[in-house]
């Protein structure tokens, strides 16, 4: 089974700029006439479509900003520190939670991960994380 979230957005061009230009996703395919784009990065896929674009839209409630209230997405990336440095340099205002080393109990052991959270132009939260390198970076 595979999960591919499909998120509403207020402006597909701003969304493309955020995911492709800032976070390093690639556009897998898009349907500009439907204001829809499908992004991918390191095996993670994400679909986005404009709230008021043409065609069928599944609105289950209020679409006021910020969108995604009550949900955040965690993505493991190969180089958390490199991505964080890039985001911090290009778009520091999108950082919702600064880079940190977090400890989580998993069963009877402690797992350590580097993580930071960004907020996209529509308010969705994305936590990027990875295992710290053995030398402490």
- Taken in order of first residue, the domains within the chain and their CATH numbers are 6-52+67-130 (3.10.180.10)
Q: Which is higher by pLDDT, 61 or 52? A: 52
Which pTM does this prediction carry? 0.88
Confidence bin at 58 (pLDDT 50/70/90): confident
Q: Average pLDDT, stretch 60-87?
A: 91
Distance CA 132, CA 114 (A): 6
Q: Which residues contact 115 (CB under 8 A, 6 or more apart)?
A: 74, 80, 97, 99, 100, 101, 102, 127, 128, 129, 130
Residue with token string 């402490």 = 136
Residue 16, pLDDT score = 97
Residue 36, pLDDT score = 96
Q: How many other CB atoms are there within 10 angstroms of residue 119's CB atom?
A: 18
CA angle 128, 35, 52 (to 5 degrees): 100
């Amino acid at each position: 089974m595979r999960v591919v979230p499909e998120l509403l957005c207020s402006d597909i061009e701003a969304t493309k700029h955020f995911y492709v230009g800032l976070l390093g996703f690639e556009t897998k395919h898009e349907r500009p006439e439907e204001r829809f784009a499908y992004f991918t990065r390191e095996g993670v896929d994400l679909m986005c479509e404009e709230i008021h674009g043409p065609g069928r839209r599944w609105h289950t409630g209020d679409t006021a900003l910020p969108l995604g209230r009550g949900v955040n997405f965690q993505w493991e990336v190969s180089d958390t520190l490199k991505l964080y440095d890039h985001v911090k340099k290009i778009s520091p205002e999108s950082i919702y939670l600064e880079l940190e080393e977090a400890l989580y109990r998993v069963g009877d052991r402690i797992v350590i991960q580097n993580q930071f959270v960004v907020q996209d132009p529509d308010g969705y939260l994305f936590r990027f994380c990875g295992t710290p390198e053995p030398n402490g970076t």
